[in-house]
Amino acid sequence: MSALLEVDDLRVEFDTYGGTVQAVRGVSFELDRGQTLAIVGESGCGKSVTVQSIMGLIPMPPGRITSGSARLDGKDVIDDKRIDGKDIRGRLVGMIFQDPMSSLNPTMTIGEQIAETLQVHRGYSHKRALARAIELIDMTRIPEAAKRARQYPFEFSGGMLQRSMIAMSLACEPSILIADEPTTALDVTIQAQILDLMRELQRDNGMAIILITHDLGVVARMADEVLVMYAGEVVERGSVDDVFYRSAHPYTLGLRAAMPSNRDDAAQELTPIDGSPPDLFAPPAGCGYFARCPHAMRACETEHPRAFELGEQHRARCWLHHEDCDVAADEVFRK
Amino acid sequence: MVAYTVKRLLQGVITVWFIATATFFGMHAVPGDPLAADKEVPPEIWANLQARYGLDKPVPEQYVIYLSNMLKGDFGISYTQQNREVNDIIAEHFKVSATLGILAIVFAAFGGILWGALTALYRNRAPDIVIVFLVILGISVPSFVFAALGQLGVVNINNALGFTLFPVAGWGTVQHMIVPSMVLGLGTMAFLTRLMRSSMLEIANSDFIRTARSKGLPATRVFRKHQLRNAILPVVTVLGPSIAAITTGGFVVEMVFAIPGLGRYFVQAVQQLDYTVIMGTTVFYGAFLVFMVILVDLVYGLIDPRVRLE
Amino acid sequence: MAELSFEPVRVEREVETISRPSLSYWQDAWIRLKANRRALISLYIVIGLLLFTVFGPFVWTVDPAAQDLDQISAPPGADRSATVVDDYAVWRGVTVDVPAGGSPPAAELLAPGAVSVHGPAETRAVRLAWDPVSGAAAYRVYRNILDPEPDGALGLPIADVLDPAQVSFEDRLDLKPLTYYYSVVAMDALGNESRAYRTVGVEVTRVITAAEAVAKGLVEDGDTLQPGDTLNLAAHPLGTDYLGRDLLARLMHGARVSLFIGIVAPFAFVILGIVYGSAAGFVGGRFDQLLMRFADFVVALPFLLFMILLRILFGVGAGESGIYPMMVAMVLLSWPGAARLVRGQILQIREEGYIGASRLLGAKTNYLVLRHMIPNTMGVILVTLTFAVPSAIFTEAFLSFIGMGVAPPTPSWGSMCNEGLKTMLTTPHELIAPAAFISITVLAFNLLGDGLRDALDARMRSAE
């Protein structure tokens, strides 16, 4: 069976006053049904642009998808967002965003905003759509759903709004839910509740989730597969165990070292990654991580590393895995 | 909402009281004798006039009488046309000014919203560039130039047609009203277009528009139900001050088109130093503007749930 | 693939160095303003206008009140040549013997047989004579600048010749170098006009005598001029108004009034607003509430009506100018906007982290105000000031236009528009010139304000 979503060599550029930014530089991945894929990386590494370009949400101009394809159920959706004559967005793919406070229309009731999707995609009457919206709100564990449906976003708390966003994105029972940093703007306690809710709904509906985050804790908790992005590229991908326990890219190591952990010695200091990502106006010829990498080699500066296959699903773009490399990759990564 | 309305109305009443007081003491501080502005008046007639206008009493007492009369809606008798009540004068001329002003504000608001939405739809393309250029022209050209050009236009149209489609001056029929109200609304329309445009662009970049698109809504629905509805809100908030700008801007249009409005009458009253008319008109205009601003705010409350429900 | 080298390298951590020199707030703003073409052009226009106003009258020294009666309402670029003629000689006219007898009713009177021009038609006089009409008791002479045919529009009656023996008329009334159409109509004893008329078209040439040329300073010595010579009259690059005054000179002197009000008044009320607003913002509490409530009241006053009321209060009568009273009134009514803004800024800045940090480091209030508060409000204040200028210029123009501001003969752009409106249909340049100056100035200040707002404060950036 082919994957639910296959993204191949996606490249996205933005024209700005300073020149052209190559925000996404050849990203490929697959997503299977019912699976959770986490995309991690620091701000500006192209995580959000990747999914937004699949969803047709990047403003064009200044944005531009220069190459690549995204096949949903085998049909390319990059140029045309429609399958069987209807928009895939909201129907086959739902999406929730980072800031629920600003992501909902302030002058429309929550119920109306949820019902809208059903009216457009399923052709429900206004009344029927509203009734279904109340059910959906109830499904996301918001008490007094019927009353809440008649309220406006400003009457909701952040966590409640994110629940409503989830209800809205799942209204048409999509096969994929894209969650772009869904918990970043929320309190820690609310974060856990939202993540639990997503997992529970996934279990019930069997949808796949693409979870964008820079929080490795969230990744460990939610993901089956992990995509580590750096400077617009996927530098490592694999199962959550591969990426966490058999990290194969120095950047992944750096991310892990910068993350607090309760397993290691509590007194251990967190190690930040020095420096900042490369300028994507003129991406380096070699490895994007070269300037910050503690294991940098001559080849890294000039030659772009290919993806080395390390396990069944495990890939990493790092010259340390080259057979001619003298430095024992095992030494570097067995920390 | 009820408490808010009551509070705003109370504030309005206090503001009108302030305007009335400022006007009263302002006019009483004017140097010279209002009753003998130009002419020599025999002392006994002068004393009679003093008594007739209540000027023989001490100023604080006059103030109390003035306020209590005003509460009864009585602004006194004109100084120059001594058989006319100020109320009658205001009633007669304000009808004209209000009609002109309402037509102008409706024209300006609809035009502003329409053009502003259009510029945002055609951003950086020909219609946008043309409209933005016209808007810059509209906010830089004084209203009397529009009035003069409007009149010139009317003359040319009539000449071209060979009959009088739009009268050049005067008031009475619908044809009289069209050109002056358009001329009066132009500046405000330019201002509202500019506001609507930046509001549309800001909303277009907002997160909830991205959400609406991520739901797969058709572009027309995103535009109509999400973008337009929210972009109009800031335009509504400035309608109150715009009404003030338009009513006073009416002075010029009334002069150029010889329209018997209150603005033109006020200017005449000032030239003749007709004190009761000046005071009455000022307080009346002030009260009108204060309550128009309140009205606009209340209407805004009705369309913005964030205000309505708080 | 090329030979790969896996030799470890130490990468210089150059990322930590700052490559650009640090810029002060104002340097940075200036760089951003320079990048904005519209704002930069507007800035040049504003500087140009100020130079025009301040130094213009020294370059173009024509007296703005001097009337050039030879060139009245002359548009820019009008022909200004005049022919030199001998001194004016009195003309006695043409008389005929009229047979005694009753005068028939007007309806029976014919048109004059012919109307002729005696001597050259000149701007100082056009001499007409006509063939007598039998039975006419008097004649009436009409003048029009348009051909009366085919509508029979004779124009203005300029003279009644009440002696039937007198069959001539000398027109010396405000003649311009145009073609005039004179029509002569016979009248009966009751003063009723005949319907018949006779028209003659006369092309008038502009003339000047040697003595006049010397008196106007066009030539040094009148003896060098011979009749028939052509002489250029005084130049008026932008034309003249309905009283023959030089428009360029009036615009320059008018700019002194308009820009003086337009720039000084905003300065004054912004400063008043800063003092008031910062007092409210610093003291806070009830005092703040009281001050701000008062400001709300002042905002609620109908602006233009109170501008006019204050004018009366300052004792400026109808037809007087009162430039300073207008400024004072503007200051008294306009300060609340700036006061609210400054107060808001101060309240906001007081809560900013860097103020707290600075205080923790031991900064005194004076230092905080001078080093942090004022520099951080200056941008907003400057932008407010720039936007206040066009509205002040509009206010002046508006009030002068309705006759409640600067009154003639003092020139201001607004009062010039007021005068220009009257002749809009025949000589539009008298309205266009001052209106264009108002528009360009307002436009330049508006665009400069936009640019300054974008350059000074990224938070206030407009969406355009």
pLDDT digits (tens, 9 = 90+) for A120-138: 888 888 898 999 899 888 8
- The CATH number that domain B92-263 falls under is 1.10.3720.10
Task: Judge: B215–A116 Cβ closer than 8 Å, yes or no.
Answer: yes
Q: Is the confidence at residue C1, as pLDDT, over 50?
A: no
Amino acid present at A56: G
Cis before C150 (ω within 30): yes
Q: Report residue C254 as tokens.
A: 């008018």
Mean pLDDT of C339-353: 84
pLDDT of residue C464: 36
Give the model confidence (pLDDT) of A269-317 as tens digits: 777 777 777 777 777 777 878 777 777 777 777 778 887 777 788 888 8
- pLDDT: which is higher, A263 or C208: C208
For the cut 70, the answer to whether the pLDDT of residue B259 exceeds it is yes
Burial of C229 (0-12, 13-18, 19+ CB in 10 A): middle
For residues C258 and C253, give the distance between their C-alpha atoms in angstroms, rounded to a whole number: 9
Which positions 38-57 of B are in contact with C (Cβ < 8 Å)?
Answer: none
Three-class DSSP category at B147? helix
Residue A110 lies in a domain: yes
- Secondary structure (3-state) at C19: coil
Name every chain B residue with its beta carbon within 8 A of the beta carbon of A154. 305-306
Q: Domain for residue A128, yes or no?
A: yes
CA-closest candidate to residue C435, choices C385, C409, C401: C401
A307: in domain:
no
pLDDT at res. B38: 54
- Chain A CA closest to residue C11: A291
What's the DSSP call for residue A282? Answer: S
- Establish if A78 belongs to a structural domain: no
| A90–B207 CB contact, under 8 Å | no
- The predicted pLDDT at position B166 comes to 81
CA distance B263 to C96: 59
- Look at A81 and B216 and tell me if their CB atoms are within 8 Å: yes
Instruction: Please indicate if any CB of chain C lies within 8 Å of the CB of B203.
Output: no
Looking at the DSSP bridge assignments, the partners of residue A184 are none
- H or E element: which one contains A225? strand A225-230
Q: Enumerate the residues of chain A whose CB falls inside 8 A of the CB of residue B218.
A: 87, 120
Across the interface, whether the CB atoms of C13 and A325 are under 8 A apart is answered: no
CA–CA separation, A3 and C188 (whole Å): 112
In this complex, which of A290, A299, A325 lies closest to C11 when CB atoms are compared?
Answer: A290
pLDDT of residue A268: 64
| DSSP designation for C181 | E
% of chain C exceeding 90 in pLDDT: 5
Contacts of residue C40, defined as CB under 8 A and 6 or more positions apart, other chains included, come to C33, C34, C451
Question: Cβ of C8 under 8 Å from any chain A Cβ?
Answer: yes
Q: How many CB pairs under 8 A join A and B?
A: 82
Q: Is residue A289 part of a domain?
A: no
Residue given tokens 């009830």 in the structure block: C286
Exposed / middle / buried, residue A314 (Cβ in 10 Å: 0-12, 13-18, 19+): middle
Tokens for C28? 């940075």
Q: What is the pLDDT of residue A263?
A: 59
- Per-residue pLDDT, A327: 66
Cα(A32)–Cα(A67) distance, rounded to whole angstroms? 23
Most B-contacting residue of A15, A105, A210, A212 (CB-CB within 10 A), to test interface = A105
Question: Is the model's pLDDT at B221 over the cut of 90?
Answer: no
What is the spatial distance between Cα A139 and Cα A130, in angstroms, rounded to a whole number? 14
Q: Considering only residues C73 and A161, tell me which one the structure prediction assigns the higher pLDDT.
A: A161
* pLDDT tens digits for range B20-45: 888 888 887 776 666 655 566 677 77
**Per-residue CA distances from C237 to A18, C79, C390 (Å):** 47, 11, 27
Angle, helices C429-456 vs C247-283, to 10°: value is: 30
C99, pLDDT greater than 60: yes
Chain B residue with CA closest to C392: the answer is B142
Residue A146 Cα distances to A120, A167, A172, C296, angstroms = 21, 14, 19, 43
- Tell me which DSSP letter residue C86 carries: P
pLDDT at B142 over 60: yes
| Euclidean distance between CA atoms B130 and A101, whole angstroms | 36
- The tens digit of pLDDT for each residue in C378-413 reads 888 888 888 889 889 988 888 888 888 888 778 888
C449 or A299, greater pLDDT: C449
What is the reported pLDDT for B111?
A: 93
Rounded to whole angstroms, how far apart are CA atoms C295 and C328?
17
Which tokens hold the place of A329?
A: 């990759």
Sign (positive/negative) of CA torsion A111, A114, A119, A120? positive
Q: Which residue of B has its CA nearest to C395?
A: B142
Q: What is the pLDDT of residues A99-113, one digit of tens each?
A: 888 889 888 889 999
Looking at chain A, the whole-number percentage of residues with pLDDT higher than 90 is: 1
Q: Chain A interface residues facing chain B, Cβ-Cβ under 8 Å?
A: 55-57, 59, 81, 86-91, 94-95, 97, 99, 102-108, 116-117, 120-121, 152, 154-155, 165, 168-169
Rounded-to-integer distance, Cα A168 and Cα B220, Å: 20
pLDDT in tens, B155-189: 888 888 878 788 877 787 888 888 889 889 988 99
Residue of B nearest to A112 (CA): B225
Least confident of C22-31, C149-158, C427-436, C444-453: C22-31
Q: Is residue A140 a part of any domain in this protein? A: yes
Nearest residue in chain A measured CA to CA from B232 = A107
CA dihedral C24, C26, C28, C33 (to 10 degrees): -170
Split at pLDDT 50, 70, 90, the class of A266 is: low
Residue of A nearest to C2 (CA): A303
Q: What is the pLDDT of residue C461?
A: 41
Cβ atoms of C168 and C127 within 8 Å: the answer is yes
Assess contact for A70 and A29: CB atoms under 8 A: no
Contact C305 B31 (CB under 8 A): no
Average pLDDT of the residues in C318-336: 84
**Structure tokens, C326:** 């207008």
Q: Bridge-partner residues for A24, per DSSP?
A: A12
A152 with B226: Cβ contact below 8 A: no
CB C81 within 8 A of CB C231: yes
Residue C17: is its pLDDT beyond 60? Answer: no
Q: Which residue has the higher pLDDT, B181 or C218?
A: B181
**pLDDT at residue C139 is higher than 60:** yes
* Beta carbons of A299 and C8 less than 8 Å apart: no
- Closest Cβ opposite residue B213 in set A57, A99, A121: A57
Q: How far out from the chain centre does Cα A30 lie?
A: 13
3 state DSSP class of C117? strand
A293 CB neighbours in chain C (<8 A) are: 11
Residue C459 has pLDDT above 50, yes or no: no
Most confident of A311-315, C357-361, C424-428: C357-361
Give the mutation candidate from A51, A77, A103 for the B interface (greatest B CB count, under 10 A).
A103
Chain C touching partners, 3 or more CB pairs below 8 A? A, B
How much is the CA Rg of chain A, to the nearest whole Å? 21
Q: How buried is residue A131: exposed, middle or buried, by Cβ count under 10 Å (0-12/13-18/19+)?
A: middle
Domain count along chain A: 1
pLDDT more than 70, % of chain B: 95
B58 inside 8 A of chain C by CB: no
Strands A36-40 and A208-213: parallel
ipTM: 0.83
> Is residue A122 a part of any domain in this protein?
yes
Name the pLDDT band for C463 (thresholds 50, 70, 90): very low
Beta strands A176-180 and A208-213: pairing type?
parallel
| Beta-carbon separation of B286 and C305 below 8 A | yes
Chain A residues within an 8 Å CB radius of B211: 95, 97, 103-105, 165, 168
Nearest to B101, CA basis, from B193, B192, B188, B12: B188
On average, the pLDDT of chain C sits at 81
Nearest C-alpha neighbor of C222 from the set C230, C232, C212: C212
For the entire predicted model, the pTM comes to 0.80
Which chains have at least 3 CB atom pairs separated by less than 8 Å from chain B? A, C
Q: Is A77 helix (H, G, I), strand (E, B) or coil?
A: coil
Full residue range of the structural domain in which residue A106 is found: 102-173
Contact (CB<8Å) C463/B270? no
The residue in chain B having the minimum alpha-carbon distance to the alpha carbon of residue A55 is: B214
For the cut 50, the answer to whether the pLDDT of residue A6 exceeds it is yes
- By percentage, how much of chain B surpasses pLDDT 90? 6
Q: Which residues make Cβ contacts (< 8 Å) with residue C107, sequence separation at least 6?
A: C194, C195
Q: What is the CA radius of gyration of chain B?
A: 24
Residue of chain A with shortest Cα separation from C17: A275
Q: Smallest Cβ distance to B142: which of C302, C403, C435?
A: C435
The residue ranges of every structural domain in chain B are 92-263
* Residue A47 domain-assigned (yes or no): no
Q: Summarize the confidence of residues C370-383 as an average pLDDT.
A: 80
What does the alpha-carbon distance between residue B153 and residue B145 come to, in Å, rounded to a whole number? 12
